[in-house]
Amino acid sequence: MKIRHNLRAGVAALALVAAGSVQAEVTVLGWPGGPEEAALRAVTEIYNAKADVAEENKVELLFTSRDGFFDKLQVDLAAGSTAFDLNLIATYSIGRYAPYMEPVTLSDQAGTVFGDTVLKTMQFDGKQYGVPTDLSLHFLYYRTDLIDALLADDAAKAKYSEIAQQHLGKAMEPKAPADWTWEDFVANALYFSQSVNPDSPTRYGTVIQAKNLLFNMMVFHSWPRSYGGNWMDDAGNITVDSEAFRTALSQAKLLFDLGATPPDSTSYEYAEANAAYASGQVAAMVQWNAAAGELTAAQAATGTTAPPAGPEGKFTHIHGLGLGLNKAAENKDGAIAFLQWLSTEEAALAYAKAGGAPGLAADTAAKLAADRPDLVQVGDYASNFGFVMNGGTSEKALSVYEAQAKEFTGFWAGTQDLDTALKNATAAMSELLK
Amino acid sequence: MASRQHRENALLASPLVLFLLLILGFPTVLSLIYGFSETSFETLMQPQFSGLQNFRDVLGDPTFWQAAGFSLRFGLITAVLQCALGLALAVYLAPLVRAHPWTVAILIIPMIVAPAMMGLMYRLVLHEFAGPLPHYLYQWFGWSPSFLGPAHVFKTVVLAETLQWTPFAFLLFLTAYQSIPSELREAASVDGARPLRLFWKIEWPLMLPTVFVALFIRFIDGFRVFDNIYTLVGSGPGGSTTSMSIYIYETFLRRGEIGKAMAAAILLFLTAFLLLALGQWLTRRRRP
């Protein structure tokens, strides 16, 4: 009797599980951690609370670790995983994942909400593969209290000039960060490093996140680009072994050699570099715009401006993060409906208010000027200084970043010389971008 | 009668054999197919036979040899350190463990932690601005080594691996030490042998086979290290902390060169297999 009762209970439980699996949902694989996750959670709540969203089209979020995220995504997509209907895509990875995704049509508002430039960050071969959720570029973060004190003190200025003369070969004057060239950035980093200037109020003048990691190359690229550097010329020749890259790499190397960036920074990525700045022991750094909230919360006297200039002007690497449709999705209709809603003004404003960083057209960004002034700055820098390296959206773009990360970090850490690093990078890029 | 028993044995063993074939056999066959094919993520279902090309590519890749050198150095150093420390602890703590067996549970705690978690933990603990260790070193001495900087990173990963896996060697040696018949020790003591002489003349020779086994197991484990190094420092500046496993992972996933990665995995497997066979042969040779 008891066995029969247990069997009935088991069958009932199985039936419940089966019924649950029929009731499909829209599963979204998002970018874990950071403001992107918080913003996606917020807009998902708004969407799921809407009366016209059917129960089977409610959105569920799925997050894994950032470590190896794109590798895991590659395997899942190639295997035809149905574990998620929508997944994260980035400008530099669309070409890699396009074979496993489906183009989408966004809402009619998308053009006016984001503008064509931002929509293009989610396009490949002329097709729209996703809705742009976050625009990433770089700010120069600096301690206003330290810079103001330096600019107001003649003795400090003289010391600054002396350090510049000794290490850069010319007597330089300190300037406001908005007017910095990369040489000013280096001189400032040396002045605020105790290894060079024992009286410095900070232990290090800057922090360069130099772990052998592709994202760190994106942060670095604004530097050689401002000297005219590019991955390829218009004829498709690899041009990484150029004066521009040599200059930028050597200037950064000087900061490692003279202790102007923490010695451990060859193992730093985003979080570690932010922790260094947040500790108050770093005077200035180039970092993703997404760090603005975290860094200004930790160091109230923090100013932001565009990265320093080179002979070719100011530049900042730019790319978009977004959500696209998995070709193997089981609930495509529900997934497309969510994507279309995400591309409306209502969703974009809610996403921004919740901490996300969508690249918004000027009119839309103006509606957030009070809540998110940084988004106005993001839009301004994206349109005036934003760049993508030639080949930066190709199928093998991620591998190019990785090849450069291996070679350039090796040079900075002193495991190989500059000629070898550039020769190896050129060879790897020639193979990847042929 | 013997034939019936043979059939019964085969029948009873068959579920295990089937399970192993499914779990280990399928990926092994797939690895062999991909190792001799030109394959990418786009052509996973249509691998093109390419003979030994992937093996030629791997053996001609300087990064492979760099990774092999790192793994060899790392495996040897960590195996020797773990065995030396494990042996010392086993001999020194044997009386304590005999009196309070529960102390073993405390001593093996590091071994229970997942290696990836261990890597993440050290990443936090050793960070110059967020980690407690550099914080207190700065506070007390005004200076701290850059644990994860190029000058010290190898020593740091060796130390992390040693601290985690010494308890494994300790357990092996403790078992071997405790299994030495007490009559031997008593007889040696009656003959006037002092503790050091007792160890070198009686206990050490009897534990030597275990030392060989422990060295081999720890060497192979160190040689194929992945999790803790990858989560702690990744593949290192210029690939300086790239082990064989990290090389295979990055070749497979980062560069999408599946055939080449599988060829490297086959080479790694063959190396480990040959070393194990060598170890077994040496151990057998020592037996009377």
- Distances in Å between the Cα of A291 and the Cα atoms of A270, B173, B226 are 9, 51, 30
User: B-chain residues within 8 Å CB-CB of A278?
Assistant: 129
Segment B162-189 mean pLDDT: 93
pLDDT, tens digit (0-9, with 9 covering 90-100), for A277-293: 999 999 999 999 989 88
Query: So where are chain A's domains?
Result: 23-136+319-387, 138-317+396-432
Give the pLDDT of residue B2. 64
CA of A279 to nearest chain B CA: how many angstroms apart? 6
Residue B51 lies in a domain: no
With H, G, I as helix, E, B as strand and everything else as coil, classify residue A203. coil
If you write DSSP's letter for every residue of A273-329 in order, what string do you get? HHHHHHTT-EEEEEEEGGGHHHHHHH-SSEEEEPPPEETTEE-EE-EEEEEEEETT-
- Distances in Å between the Cα of A146 and the Cα atoms of A44, A113, A302, A393 are 42, 39, 10, 39
Window 212-241 of A, Cβ < 8 Å to B: 212-213
Residues of chain A with pLDDT under 70: 1-24, 67
Interface test with A, best of B45, B126, B129 (most A CBs within 10 A): B129
What is the rounded distance in angstroms from the CA atom of residue B82 to the CA atom of residue B74? 12
Q: What is the DSSP letter of B47?
A: P
What is the rounded distance in angstroms from the CA atom of residue A304 to the CA atom of residue A292? 8
Give the pLDDT of residue A141. 98
Question: Which distant-in-sequence residues (6+ apart) come within 8 Å of A308 by Cβ?
Answer: A140, A177, A180, A181, A182, A184, A185, A226, A314
Type and span of the H or E element at B140? helix B132-141
- Distances in Å between the Cα of B19 and the Cα atoms of A180, A285, B14 are 65, 55, 8
For residue A409, the chain B residue with the least C-alpha distance is B237
Counting one residue from A and one from B, how many pairs have CB atoms under 8 Å apart? Answer: 94
What is the rounded distance in angstroms from the CA atom of residue B209 to the CA atom of residue A46? 66
What is the average pLDDT score of chain B? 90
The 10 Å Cβ neighbour count of residue A1 is 5
For residue B231, the chain A residue with the least C-alpha distance is A67
| B275 φ, ψ (degrees, to nearest 5) | -65, -45
CB A74 within 8 A of CB A319: no
A131: nearest Cα among A303, A309, A344 = A344
For residue B124, the chain A residue with the least C-alpha distance is A272
CA of B20 to nearest chain A CA: how many angstroms apart? 23
Number of independent structural domains in chain B: 1
HSE of B146 in the Cβ direction (CA atoms, 13 Å)? 16
Crossing angle between the packed helical segments A243-257 and A397-413, to the nearest 10 degrees: 50
Lowest mean pLDDT: which of A305-309, B96-100, B273-277?
B273-277
A326: nearest Cα among A120, A104, A133, A134 = A104
> Are the Cβ atoms of A399 and B42 closer than 8 angstroms?
no
Per CATH, the architecture of A138-317+396-432 is what?
3-Layer(aba) Sandwich (3.40)
* Domain extent at residue B136: 61-286
User: B-chain residues within 8 Å CB-CB of A413?
Assistant: 150, 236-238, 240
> Are the Cβ atoms of B147 and A264 closer than 8 angstroms?
yes
Give the pLDDT of residue A7. 46
| Token pair in block for residue B18 | 């089937």
Q: Strand A130-136 vs strand A26-29: parallel, antiparallel, or unpaired?
A: unpaired
CB A379 within 8 A of CB A385: no
pTM metric for this prediction: 0.83
CB A393 within 8 A of CB A92: yes
Q: What is the DSSP letter of A33?
A: S
CATH number at B88 reads 1.10.3720.10
Give the pLDDT of residue B272. 81
A202: nearest Cα among A155, A249, A152, A260 = A260
User: B-chain residues within 8 Å CB-CB of A68?
Assistant: 253
Q: Does A206 touch chain B (CB under 8 A)?
A: no
What ipTM score was computed for the predicted complex, to two decimals? Answer: 0.83
Question: Which distant-in-sequence residues (6+ apart) come within 8 Å of A424 by Cβ?
Answer: A403, A406, A407, A416
Interface test with B, best of A212, A401, A431 (most B CBs within 10 A): A212
CB A239 within 8 A of CB A232: yes
| A80 φ, ψ (degrees, to nearest 5) | 70, 35
| A6 φ, ψ (degrees, to nearest 5) | -65, -40
CB A33 within 8 A of CB A66: yes
Radius of gyration for chain B, computed over Cα atoms and rounded to the nearest angstrom: 24
Q: Does A210 touch chain B (CB under 8 A)?
A: yes
Q: What is the DSSP letter of B181?
A: -
> Are the Cβ atoms of A264 and B128 closer than 8 angstroms?
yes
Burial of A152 (0-12, 13-18, 19+ CB in 10 A): exposed
Q: Strand A130-136 vs strand A319-326: parallel, antiparallel, or unpaired?
A: antiparallel
pLDDT, tens digit (0-9, with 9 covering 90-100), for A112-165: 998 887 888 898 888 999 999 999 999 999 999 999 999 999 999 999 999 999
> Are the Cβ atoms of A71 and B240 closer than 8 angstroms?
no
Segment B16-28 mean pLDDT: 86
Q: Does A411 touch chain B (CB under 8 A)?
A: yes
Q: Please work out, in degrees rounded to the nearest 5, the angle formed at the alpha carbon of residue A87 by the alpha carbons of B120 and A43.
A: 90
What is the average pLDDT score of chain A? 91
User: A-chain residues within 8 Å CB-CB of B127?
Assistant: 264, 272, 275
CB B215 within 8 A of CB B78: no
| N residues, chain B | 288
Give the pLDDT of residue A17. 42
Give the pLDDT of residue B133. 94
One fold for A23-136+319-387 and A138-317+396-432: yes
What is the rounded distance in angstroms from the CA atom of residue A283 to the CA atom of residue A146? 7
What is the rounded distance in angstroms from the CA atom of residue A298 to the CA atom of residue A192? 19
Segment B118-136 mean pLDDT: 92
Burial of A14 (0-12, 13-18, 19+ CB in 10 A): exposed
For residue B250, the chain A residue with the least C-alpha distance is A71
Give the pLDDT of residue B203. 92
User: A-chain residues within 8 Å CB-CB of B27?
Assistant: none
> Are the Cβ atoms of A267 and B148 closer than 8 angstroms?
yes
User: A-chain residues within 8 Å CB-CB of B148?
Assistant: 264, 266-267
Give the pLDDT of residue A14. 45
B268: nearest Cα among B103, B81, B71, B118 = B71
Class of the CATH-defined domain A23-136+319-387 = alpha beta
